[in-house]
Structure 1
Amino acid sequence: MPVSTYRTNRAIPGMTHTQHPGAPTGSAPLLQRLTSTVPKELVHRASIAEVLLTDWARSSAHHFVLAAQWPRGHSFYTPIDGCHDPLIAAETIRQAGLLLAHTEYHVPLGHHFLLHHLDVSTRPAHMRMTATPATLELHVHVHDIKERRGEVTGLRIDVAIHRDGHLAATGGGTLTCIAPRIHQRLRGMQNPDTLPVLPLTAPEPPQKVGRTSPTDVVLSPLPEPHHWQLRIDTRHPTLFDHPLDHAPGMLLIEAARQATTATLGHPTHPHTITTHFHHYVELHTPCTIKARPTNGTIPHGDTRSILVTAQQNGADVFHCTLTTTPPHA
């Protein structure tokens, strides 16, 4: 059944017009547009606090305008050098793809999504923290739409995120929509609530990977330099907002960011992140994260690119290139 996109603006009982030049006089009820998040189910979140999108509308056949808000403080996507975390932009793009797939392309709730790639590039000058949350306008183009028997099975989105009239970030992603019966055939009878998970491994020191709390560290040290074991904490309230039978994509992107920070030896601002997901990353088998510079040695104070790969059971399951600048560069 298609998801309804019907939305209303409501009058606030007892509220009157604000008196300002040109405003109506009297005490007539004010019809005011209320801001709230979109239903959490449409972006596959269990917690309302993790929903970043607030509205959407179709502007042409496959173009849409979405509204979003980034909080001044987030429990996980914390500010970097006075700027909003680039990963919150990546999460916003991820949510945009899910929302439009369900609401505008009629992918039923209960379908699973396989993310193939997710990219984001930010403009730090327009990512600065201010005295209020960041109010955003997303311009989204949906294309490369795949269909089978009249049902959408995949799509690609390109996204431009605007803030106060300025382009703050761009990016996009490609996903495949998987019906429950097909997902069960791919994944077997795995139940996230009973699936075995590796014992939680010791974290790298938080300051080494750009974090303040050990609970947010997703890497465990290995003897070989620039190698880590992916640290999977299924109790993490943001990365595992709800039970999953595999490691979520945002966990892998965060692992790439932390590996980059550890490799460079100082906090970094990853302004461009390009990711490719090759296979599900299982929760019960060790996954090795490796990082190496892609452009020679690493002088401090320079922009650098780091390639991060993930391997599990002898196969590459993920790779990510991060282009970074040190703080205040």
Structure 2
Amino acid sequence: MSVPERGVSEVDDHPALSFQRTVDRSLVHRTAIAEVFVVDSIATGDRQCEVGAQLPLTHGYYSDHLAEPARYDPILLLEICRQAAIYGSHAIVGVSLGTAMIIGSFTLRLHNDGLRTGSRPGDLVLVTTYRGEPTKRGRVRNAGVSQDLVLDGTVVGRHEMKLTALRDSELEALRRHQRGATPPSTADYQGHASGHPVPSHLVGRRDPRNVVLTDLRRGDGGVTATVSPYFGNNALFDHEYDHLPAMVITEAARQAATATVDDGTGALVRNHVITGITASFEHYAELDQKLVASTSTRAMPDGANTVDVAFSQGSSRVAEISLEIVSRRGGE
């Protein structure tokens, strides 16, 4: 899949972004400075901007992979896309602080040949366009974001996201209404909430604290598992949540897909590369209800496999995430 060449030309036609320091953490909705990757932004038009971010070479969560050769983590790119969209909405579009950005869906397409890590951190430019019509009160509630990803001058992918913007007070009221009471907080949980964590090598990890699945079972053409992350992992839970956030569910999808295309020993994990992720989120993933992930696989004409991961709590479908995975051997 090709990405429009305008991404490169736009980057070249505007003043250079500064990659000297990260932005104010509150503008990307992070608590820890170490989890901020956005460095700068420049307005390039009406609801258009370029956002700069630096990709770390070493990170306790995003760099913890068995795949070789080393590539930048697709979920790191998703997190940066999320941060860049939030930062631009505040710094460029003028969305007020105290506004929650609720992800409805996203699509990420990657050119992995350009995502290998080098000897220095990667400088990523996100050519970003915002969409959305304001209400009579001048607020944009339902918005869209499109981002071309340019890494060290090379177009490496494209991200599109749909989201809903609500004031924090509105979101709190909505959550109380949905449940009939105040929901629990991630601060109330420690370790893995339940079950037997999947051995880390079976989901492409070294550190067991980065494993988010328990009680993995294999069936005909797929796996099922319970989503039960390690709540002490600050990369996943940078601040308190009253639900399992979208990035945790996406990580669960990646791990379930990895286990699905492996042979059950972890031997094939090193050869698999994710080239695309598509997700839709229908309901909040409640902390006090069991969240189950179930996978199925589709073979694609180009030789890739698409693993579909469905997430459910009881009879309610929470999310659906599809990952495109290719096998690359011999250092490809």
With normalisation by structure 1, the TM-score equals: 0.83
Structure 1 residue 133 displacement after superposition? 0.2
Is it true that 1:161 corresponds to 2:162 in the alignment?
Answer: no
State how far apart, in whole Å, the 2-side matches of 1:295 and 1:148 are: 47
Matching residue of 2:275: 271
How do 1:32-181 and structure 2 match up within 5 A?
35-78=20-63, 80-81=67-68, 82-181=70-169
**Residue 22 of structure 2: SS of its match in structure 1?**
coil
Amino acid at match of 1:213: D
5+ residue gaps, structure 1, are 1-32
Amino acid at match of 1:295: A
**Residue 116 of structure 1: SS of its match in structure 2?**
strand
Q: Percent identity?
A: 26
Change (3 A) 1:211 1:146: farther
Which has the larger share of helix? 2
State how far apart, in whole Å, the 2-side matches of 1:264 and 1:68 are: 32
Matching residue of 1:29: none
Contact 1:200–1:232 (Cα < 8 Å) also in 2: no
Structure 1 residue 106 displacement after superposition? 2.6
How do 1:206-225 and structure 2 match up within 5 A?
206-223=200-217, 225=219
Is it true that 1:290 corresponds to 2:278 in the alignment?
Answer: no
RMSD: 2.2
Greater relative contact order (Cα < 8 A, sep 6+): 2
Which stretches of structure 1, 4 residues or longer, exceed 6 Å deviation after superposition?
Answer: none
Amino acid at match of 1:206: S
State how far apart, in whole Å, the 2-side matches of 1:125 and 1:246 are: 35
* Selected match of 1:187 from 168, 175, 198: 175
State how far apart, in whole Å, the 1-side matches of 2:128 and 2:256 are: 31
Structure 1 residue 108 displacement after superposition? 2.1
Is it true that 1:249 corresponds to 2:246 in the alignment?
Answer: yes
State how far apart, in whole Å, the 2-side matches of 1:213 and 1:109 are: 35
Matching residue of 2:15: none
Change (3 A) 1:126 1:44: same
Change (3 A) 1:147 1:234: farther
Matching residue of 1:303: 304
Change (3 A) 1:54 1:279: same
Change (3 A) 1:148 1:92: farther
Matching residue of 2:284: 280
Matching residue of 1:7: none
Aligned length: 294
With normalisation by structure 2, the TM-score equals: 0.83
State how far apart, in whole Å, the 2-side matches of 1:177 and 1:186 are: 13
Contact 1:311–1:317 (Cα < 8 Å) also in 2: yes
- Range with greater deviation from structure 2 (142-151 or 309-318): 142-151
**Residue 172 of structure 2: SS of its match in structure 1?**
helix
Structure 1 residue 191 displacement after superposition? 5.7
Change (3 A) 1:196 1:77: closer
Q: Deviations over 1:27-79 (max 9, x none)?
A: xxxxxx67111111111111111111100011011211111110111111125
State how far apart, in whole Å, the 1-side matches of 2:305 and 2:60 are: 28
Structure 1 residue 166 displacement after superposition? 1.1
